[in-house]
Structures are given as structure tokens and as C-alpha cells.
A and B are shown apart, each in its own frame.
Chain A
Amino acid sequence: MLSKLTLRTVALGYLAMVLVLPVGAIVWRTFSNGLAPVWQAVTTPDALHAFWLTILITAIVVPLNTVFGVACGVVLARQHFPGKRLLDSVINLPFAVSPVVVGLALVLVYGQTGRLGSWLAERGVQIIFALPGMVLATLFISLPYVVREVTPVLREVGVEQEEAARTLGATRLSAFLRVTLPAIRWGVTYGVVLTTARALGEFGAVAIVSGRLAGQTETLTLFVENHFESFDQAGAYGAALALAALALLTLLTMTGLRRREGH
């Protein structure tokens, strides 16, 4: 009994130290001068723009990486080909490489000095210091989450149910959509939640490729840092709280979905 209690105390204490205390501190700090200054700071045009830009990037990145992730999961779980291990490791690259490096790499390829970048610039397409670059950076950073969640589930589900569907007259695509997708839905959901959280919170890579122009290429995370550096505490903490609220909303949505299915 004692050891059970000790273990619980340690676990809760650890959580409090690492999670609850800092998050609580943000809330406390944000509202230390009341609601009005915070509201003012997070409703400036720049703040609103950062808010919407973050949501826009996430809304582009999450569906793309979900479709890619499921497709890639199918390849990894079901096909055997030389170089499969390599593909498997390459997908993990965003976990291993610092986002700053990713940002620099993108600048190298798509920047004005890069061959591809200058070719595109001649045709009036700007990638770096614009939305496309920020989307690319976020895509790269949040790429592995759906793949990693979905691949093991796909392996476990196997192909038999899909084959059964095909013998019953379903085309390849229809069999996948009607039988396999419902079977892996929780893997996909977890992947989507993690991808969303990662996309919302991305800082390093986006910081480099965006150019950080307030009101133009500034996401919420960049806004927070920018205002923190310039001693605008109300703005920084307010925006940070908005960011945390977005992430929390994603988590709650998933929990709600699960509860409705009776899990």
C-alpha cells in the first residue's frame, strides 16, 4: 500500500512540476493585471492576423499529411521492396533533425539564391518569406505523426477484411474506404491530433523561412516570441494562452469523439 501511494505521489508530483506549474503560471501571469489589457493585446490586427495565419497553415498541412500518412502507412505495412527500410528511416528524419536545420535547408532550395528558388521567382512564385514556404516547413516538421500512428494499426488489421470486401464486389478503393479506414480510424485520429498540435506549435523552421513580418508572415508562436522579446507581457502571454487553448480544443474534440463511440 505504501509503495502504491508513494508511486502515485511521485507521478502526480512529477506532472505538477513539469506540466501543471508552468501552464498554471502562464494563466496566472496573463491575467495578473485583469482581463482588459490581455483582450486588447490579443485583438490587435497583428495578433488576429497571426491567429488566422496559424489556423490557415494548420488547415492546409493537416489534411495533406493525413492523406500522405495513410498512403505511406499502407506502403510500409503491406509492400515489400528494396529500400523500404530507408524509406522507414527517412520518414523519421523530422523527429531527428532540428527544425532550424529544416528551415535553413528550405531557404537553400527555395530561396532567391537557390536554382529552383530563382527559377520560381522568375515566374513570380515566391516561396521563402511567404505562405508557401511556411506551409512547406510545417509539412516537413509534422510529416511522421500520422504515418507512425497508422502503420502499426494497418499491420494489425491485415488485408483479409479488405480482400473479403473485394470478393463481395467492392473495388480496391471502395474496399479500403468502407472496411480498412473504419478499422484504423483511431490510429488516424491520434495521428491527426498529434499533427495538429505539432503544426500549431511549430516555431524554429517557420521562424527562418517566414521572415517574421508582423501582420504578414507572423504565426502565433512567432508573435509570442516577438512580443516577449519586446517586453509586451500582456501580448505574449495572451497569445500563448490562445495557442494553448487551440491545442486543448483539439484534444477535447478527440476525447469527445471517443466518448460518443463508447470507448
Chain B
Amino acid sequence: MSIEVRDVTKRFGDFSALDSVSVEVPGGSLVALLGPSGSGKSTLLRVIAGLERPDAGAVLLDGADVTGVPVERRAIGFVFQHYAAFKHMTVRRNVAFGLEIRRRPRREVRRRVDELLELVQLTGLAERYPAQLSGGQRQRMALARALAVQPRVLLLDEPFGALDARVRSELRAWLRRLHDEMHVTSVFVTHDQEEAMELADRIVVMNHGRVEQVGDPRELYERPANDFVMRFVGPVTHLGNTVLRPHDLDLGLEPDDADGAEAMIERLVHLGFEVRAELVLADGQRVLAQLSRDEAEQLDLERGQIVYVRAARARALAG
């Protein structure tokens, strides 16, 4: 099931949440909407779901215009950041909700809920209430609930945002596997570039209610369309007027060419495989360089040392 968003505009009072946004999501793909808070990514997801009505533009599911179709008839699954668990219902009744609304036979509901609980590894917790679950368990329950009605598309609004780092990375890997097994078209919202890169086939980078760039993770990192994307999808540093990635800097001990800038190592940070060198140029500009441990050992770097730094390759901005 493909999704197409055409020229969607949405305003909240004076605030322009979406400004003529167009996005295409191919059927079966896993797409991330990535951007800072207030970039319109959540609003876009809610417009696709039908939870917000756009002021202008259209939403198409598999080519059919659903802009005027209410959320309950769009056959979508939605996962909320704060789980939106039905607090007065057990886990089983939460997951069964969509099926009960559809008046499926009781035996079928029971069988389907059991299947889903097994899928999300909550089998033993069916009779618990949401308050008795951990955050990760609640979000898995919410996912099972959304999948129960076999949605045509799965929409996830910062699904791991409220979880701690360890649970978050577990759930990420788990969601990726789930997607690879089920191939349901999925769109998730995140402000975490690492999460987007790790999970998504394609990433839509948003800022100020507009789409800045669409591409696969590598494309965005290697050929960012503009300064904003460059800064948002990875770390950057400045050398003179050039913006570049910290690992695209070469350090040398001798002033070999004309373009090597003299710098002093102000601080060295050892992060296992990676070493970060914080440098100060003669004119006071600060530069961050990222080296592998081997490179750092070869150069025998230490604090206070004078080195020569130059851009290994300046990354041309695409577009």
C-alpha cells in the first residue's frame, strides 16, 4: 500500500505547520520523517492518519484520494509516543479493541489476540492492566493493538521517544525485523538521526514545515542537499569557511602542503574505536577532528601538540 501526500498545507492559527508538503512512500517500505521539534513531521503523520484535516492538498492511499475519509475508515494503524493505552482495560482487551469494534466472532478475536501477544512477547501478561507494564511492554502492546486490525499502513509517532536508551535500541531492532517479516508500509516520526538511519529505507528530512530532502540514509549523509540537512544528519565542523564532517579532516605532523592549517590539540577524547581531537587554529577558530584509534596512535597525538589540519575531501552539497 503506497502513500502519497500532495501539496499539503496545515496552519494552526498563525503557525504554519506544513507548507505545501509533497511526499511519496512506496508500498512495503519503511520511511522515517526526520526533523527537529516544530518541523511539522508529527503533523504530517497525523494528516496521513486522518487525525488532522489539511487546509489544502490531498492524501492518497494506493492512489485513492482519502483526504475526506475520517480516520476510522482509513484502515491505518497508529502508534503514539506515550502509548495511548486504554488504562481501564486489560492488555488482552486493549489488543482486542479494533476487532471488537469490527464485531468479529469471539473465538476469532481470542485466537488473533493470542497470536499478536506472542508476536510482541507479552503472552503471560494478557490479564494485566497497562499501569502494571513497563514502558517498553506498553509500547509493544500498543503495537500489537495497531496490528490487530491488519492495517494497510502503520504510522508511528516517535514510538521510542519515551523509552530509555537500552529499551529503545532493542525495540528498534525488533521493529526492523517485524517490518522485514510483514512488509506493511510503515512511516515513523523521529528527531533522532541515528534512529532514522538505522531503521529506515528512506528518510524525509523536514524543517519549518517543508521537506528539505528525501533520500536513503547514505545519500543524505554523503550528498546533503543543503546546510540544514548536512548539519542535521551528522556531526559537522568548520575549517575556514568550509563545513565538513569531523572524520573528513586529515591531521599531519609536518606542514607538507600550502593548505595545511596550523593547529594546537586542546583536548583528546578516547571513545573506544574513535578518537576525537579538539583543535584550535592560530586565529582562534575551533575545529573538531575525528580519527580512528589506529590513526591517532600512528601520529602519537597528545595534548598541547602542534598539528597541521586540512580537508581530506570537501563534501560538495548536492542540488
Measuring CB to CB, which residues of chain A are less than 8 angstroms from any residue of chain B? 160-161, 163-171, 174-175, 178-179, 182-183
Contact = CB atoms under 8 A, between A and B. Distances in A.
B78 A167 contact: yes
Nearest to A168: B98
A165 B82 contact: no
Given A161-B86, A164-B86, A183-B87, A169 B80 contact: no
Contacts of A167: 49, 51, 71-72, 76-78, 146
Interface string B148-177: 110000000000000000000000000000
A163 B74 CA distance: 13
B282 interface: no
Interface in B62-100: 70-73, 76-78, 80, 82, 84-88, 97-98
Given A170-B72, A182-B88, A164 B80 contact: yes
Given A167-B49, A169-B101, A160 B71 contact: no
B72 A171 contact: yes
Nearest to A171: B72
Interface of B: 49, 51, 70-73, 76-78, 80, 82, 84-88, 97-98, 101-102, 142, 145-146, 148-149
A165 B97 contact: yes
Contacts of B82: 160
A162 to B, nearest CB: 9
Given A167-B71, A168-B145, A171-B72, A161 B84 contact: yes
Nearest to B88: A182
Contacts of B76: 167
A85 to B, nearest CB: 17
Contacts of B84: 160-161, 163-164
A160 B149 contact: no
Given A166-B71, A166-B72, A160 B97 contact: no
Contacts, number: 59
Nearest to A179: B86
A183 B88 CA distance: 7
B149 A168 contact: yes
A25 B94 CA distance: 53
A183 B131 CA distance: 13
A183 B87 CA distance: 8
A165 B102 contact: no
Given A160-B80, A163-B51, A164-B80, A169 B86 contact: no
A166 B146 CA distance: 11
Contacts of B149: 168-169
B86 A170 contact: no
Nearest to A160: B84
B51 A169 contact: no
A163 to B, nearest CB: 6
A169 B98 contact: yes
Scoring B76, B86, B87, B149 by chain A CB atoms within 10 A of each residue's CB, the highest score goes to B86
B95 to A, nearest CB: 10
A79 to B, nearest CB: 14
A168 B80 contact: no
12 contacts: A161-B86, A163-B80, A164-B145, A166-B72, A167-B51, A167-B71, A167-B77, A168-B149, A169-B73, A169-B98, A170-B101, A182-B88
A164 B151 CA distance: 13
Nearest to A182: B88
A104 B65 CA distance: 58
Contacts of A164: 78, 80, 84, 86, 142, 145
Nearest to A185: B88
List the 7 shortest-distance A-B pairs measured between CB atoms, nearest first.
A168-B98, A164-B84, A167-B78, A160-B84, A169-B101, A182-B88, A166-B71
A170 B145 CA distance: 13
Nearest to B80: A160
B123 to A, nearest CB: 21
Contact of A161 (B73, B87, B98): B87
Nearest to B142: A164
Contacts of B49: 167
Nearest to B46: A163
A210 to B, nearest CB: 42
A165 B98 CA distance: 8
A197 B78 CA distance: 43
Contacts of B78: 163-164, 167
Nearest to A175: B72
Contacts of B70: 166, 171
Contacts of B80: 160, 163-164
